[in-house]
Structure 1
Amino acid sequence: MEERAVLANIATIITKDLLIDEPPRHSTFTSGNFSLSLQLLEGSDDDEAEIFALMQRKRAVSNVGKGKEELKRKQVEQTTEELKIKKTSKMEWKYTELSLLHRYVDSQFESYLHMRKLTFLKIQQELEEILRRHVLPGAPTPQTTLSLALWKLSTDEHFEEISRKFQLPWSLCQQVVRSFWHIISDNYESFIKWPNSLEAQQCTLQGFQGVPQLSCFQELFGIIALKRVDIFMESEHAEVAVVLQLICNAENKIIDCYVELEQDYTFEESPIGQTLALNPRTMPAGSYLIGSTSFPLKSYLIRPIETECFRKDTVFNGLLKPAFELADNVVDTLARRFHTLYALEARDLNEVRLIVESICAMHNLCIDFQDNYLETDVGGQQKFSWGGVLSGPRGSEKDVKGLRRRVELLDALVNTEGE
């Protein structure tokens, strides 16, 4: 009897633990079951078996939390998998192909797309293989994809307006254009090329020697510029300020682009800033970029002298101005050709980057194909008021190597100018 009493007490303790541990709304171990268990214990000849069963029950209850976490993990994995399937699902394009080349006469086409028809045709031929290779199943032809994508980039129209104009479902327009942005971004280095080879680097250096106002900077490798832009971010349900960081060469082509939230932006944290800090050989030995006072002074990044104490300082800063004008012209060209920058909207920061990379890629192709529409368009010569400057602190001038490099450059350039 004493043994049976001990076993009964153990069973009672285990059962109470079960009642405490188990969540009430999911509990199936009711008071009725508790009484039934005691009855079973009292009438059972196998008390050890009953206790073992109760212990197993307690172990199962203790695993409820783990089970919930596992269920959540599986649900997340399932949702992710569903998103992947949805992303790669067919577009089911059931509409006539869109050809802007045939839809508009030359003057209309150029006023909308801000490029020549021949340029559009060359871009279409350049991208055709890539679009066919990477486009989603069931998507329209490269001609339609490019037409919708460039219309979106070149105008400030929202998808709803584009949908009405071409009588297509706006969700389908979104899908086609966003697939284009992804394809261009996936082939980033085909369009936005940092000069890596020795030949390409020498051509970049020589390019600036062909610009009379900049030929004094014999080791100039690129000009870096910033632009602050307000974007409506769907994920934030509000306008968000982002920073566009662009590096251009003497041909006005963009060789590096980067986008970051203004509140998080620093040059040192940008990909090219980190790369140059870790591997100076990213540029030829002794070469440098020129940037405004928003950038930090480095041995590979020359900025103006902020406090002009001597005549040499003023002269040196004056020599830098043509570089800033060249960079401003490139940034202005982006906005004049791709009006979506005036009313940029995106789902999140990643999509902003996809859009900017696509714009820079199309800009470089226009340069490659020598499109001169913006140069000859009288109305296009006006300066657009868009974007702004960074409101944060100026770049640091504390880098010892940067100070030494600028002093060397200052002495060489100003002395040369005085001779």
Structure 2
Amino acid sequence: MTSPVWHPFTQHGLNEPIPHVVRAEGALLHLADGSTLIDGISSWWVTTHGHCHPRIAAAIAQQAGQLDQLIFAGYTHEPAETVARGLIEIAPYAPGCDPLAHVFFSDSGSTAVEVALKMALGYWHNLALDGLAEARSRILVLEHGYHGDTIGTMSVGERGVYNAAWAPLLFDVCTVPFPAPGREQACLDALEAACRDKPAAFIVEPLLLGAGGMLLYPPPVLREMAAICRRHDVLFIADEVMTGWGRTGTLFACEQAGVVPDIMAVAKGITGGAIPLAATLATARIFEAHRSSDRARLFYHSSSYTANAIACAAAVANLAIWREEDVRGRIAALTDGIATRLAELAAHPAFAHPRQLGTIAAIDIVTADAGYLSDLAPRLRAFFLRHGLLLRPLGNTIYLMPPYCIDTEQLDCVFAALVAAGDHFSA
């Protein structure tokens, strides 16, 4: 019987097989036919400690029998309060920078970024109402960026085939060139020039652009980006949805540059990947610009499931795991393991441009048909599926982002499959 399900980022006209997963544990997915897959991308970058982590699963079960859902407009509950305090405690901090001090909950990375954009525009709008500043509405973005698939997040992301159908709905932005090797100063000069026109905010994925091709840039560039924004009083928004929760080797990527953003979006690994939750963190000045005795000036954003108690309980458990277990040690070991194997893979003539940041690694398979819509992508997905792997290349770019619990044998299997793919598709 044909399934009625419409899957995301899936062209159903290609009739590609859709594996039926019935169970998961650690880095493994168990399929209905009895086979298993190694989850090499943490099921779209969300699963940090491994699937069905016992502490997180137990927290979800306990909370489900106590308080499942509560309207969060004017009400609160302890799981949300605990998560908010925990996020503020672990947020990036640097002397001389205003700390992140307030947490607004939502339910996905796209929504967390939408909230960040609305906070930034609301900040300038309210200052203008009080006669404290000129109104600002322009957003600066980084070339090749990706921030989600809602209208606002598509507007601040790279334009292309994946959002062309909705172009009439997208608002205009000013794009700063990506700081590719040798082009770092051109990026910074362009940002400096754009900031002179008094935009509202500049949004970046810190250190690594994900869906834009797993593109890296160094911490000093991120640090100078933030400094330029500070000099011109432009709000600096860090989208840590993908880079957060240890993926880049530190808890948040901003830490590597000593940067504290004015607004920071987090999601994905906030619950260890078990259940949807997101948050947008802001400094006190952003919050205070919205606080008023005038009810018309409240922050107009919400969703029915804001700060869902079950999701927050999962996040509380995740924060406890980070405090009480050697997660950073696992990340360091996995980073080293990937680095050793990636160096060996880079010698293969089928591959080019190996790159790594923490537990994230990427490499391009050499083909005349390069790019996001490369015909190689579906063939690579099918190849890896036959070899017992869940990998989802971005065109001809193969990337890895495994859960931190992946063991040595499983990691060897992943890289053996990459070698086999190089042999097969270069033949």
- Give the TM-score, by structure 2 length: 0.24
Give the structure with the larger helix fraction: 1
Structure with a larger share of its residues in strand = 2
Where relative contact order (Cα < 8 A, 6+ residues apart) is larger, the structure is 2
Larger radius of gyration: 1
Given the two structures, how large is their TM-score scaled by the length of structure 1?
0.25
